[in-house]
Structure 1
């Protein structure tokens, strides 16, 4: 299944929709600001919260928690000081460990478990300027994989902003 995600969706005033390849709206991403954290809620078309993403503040590594029904189902982290590669590690509640590898800056990366690709994220399939696709190859984890793609996008946008302020 292919999903469409707009990558500049985290502007202060915006809400964004995640759609199927047939333009059917599935989830709305709402952004809430907290004092020490930034939280995003995934809400379905009926207004029910499906998941929330919370960026932890004051950590040496970029760390984001994914919660469903109040419980942490995934922890995604990236070392702040990686020299040779750009990789994320994901620990799931069920004990699985996923890796996110590829060209993250151009949104061409895979979410893998033990060398098997569960999802491929790519900007090249869409001509819409600020959009990219998430091709989910593991349908039982489709919502979680889309949420992880949004987490990576959020961390990339944060890092781009940090680099611009350091210039």
Structure 2
């Protein structure tokens, strides 16, 4: 049996049989966007993500399909330390990403608050039509992607099972894409992985 990324804890983080299944992102202080299409699959949730959010330099909330704030991305830190932090809505740090690393390497590490590696994303192959990425998960089964990364139409698999699906078709809001995560996964980590892939895939574009 492949090792799952993690179960949802009691904390108010959206780490539940999460499934980034249908959320809507919003800049802090702004109203949440509409334009949802359909609902998440059984046991999962969708989140709406903003493309290239690492370039915003603002705090950003990732919300679920009901408009509830699930995670906060601290973008202010990016201007000072070139770091993106994934936090609970009340500011508890979950993961962090060093933004500059993506510009100079073909791999990038997502860290826990204590600095230990939670996942390492590698760009394994780039072609005109398809990109292939691998994600090393220390202590767990590794993951891989299949699909069109640049256009945000791909899947992330682990141990032969799809753990997250990324698509722009679920939302009508411009410059956004949806992430649907299977039940029982660590939603924050999978969302951080999609952000890293977005950062690395669009560097220099």
Fold conserved (TM > 0.5)? yes
Q: Which has the higher contact order (CA 8 A, sep 6+)?
A: 2
Size of the aligned set, in residue pairs, is 157
- 1: CA distance between counterparts of 2:56 and 2:148? 26
- 1: CA distance between counterparts of 2:151 and 2:103? 27
Contact 1:97 1:113 (8 Å CA) reproduced: yes
- 2: CA distance between counterparts of 1:155 and 1:144? 16
Q: Which residue of 2 aligns with 1:19?
A: 63
Q: Which residue of 1 aligns with 2:171?
A: 126
Give the TM-score of the pair, scaled to structure 2.
Answer: 0.68
What whole-Å deviation, never above 9, does each CA across 1:17-61 have from its counterpart, x for those lacking one? 2111111112221233489x83210121111111101243685x4
**Structure 2 unaligned runs (5+)?**
1-44
Q: Which residue of 1 aligns with 2:112?
A: 68
Contact 1:78 1:87 (8 Å CA) reproduced: yes
- 2: CA distance between counterparts of 1:137 and 1:98? 14
Give the TM-score of the pair, scaled to structure 1.
Answer: 0.82
Q: Which residue of 1 aligns with 2:82?
A: 38
Aligned CA distance change for structure 1 residues 12 and 19 (closer, same or farther; 3 Å): closer
What whole-Å deviation, never above 9, does each CA across 1:108-150 have from its counterpart, x for those lacking one? 1101013311010111000011211111114332221111111
Q: Which residue of 2 aligns with 1:153?
A: 198
- 2: CA distance between counterparts of 1:155 and 1:42? 18
Please point out which of 87, 92, 116 is paired with 1:48: 92
**Structure 1 unaligned runs (5+)?**
none
C-alpha displacement of 1:67: 1.2
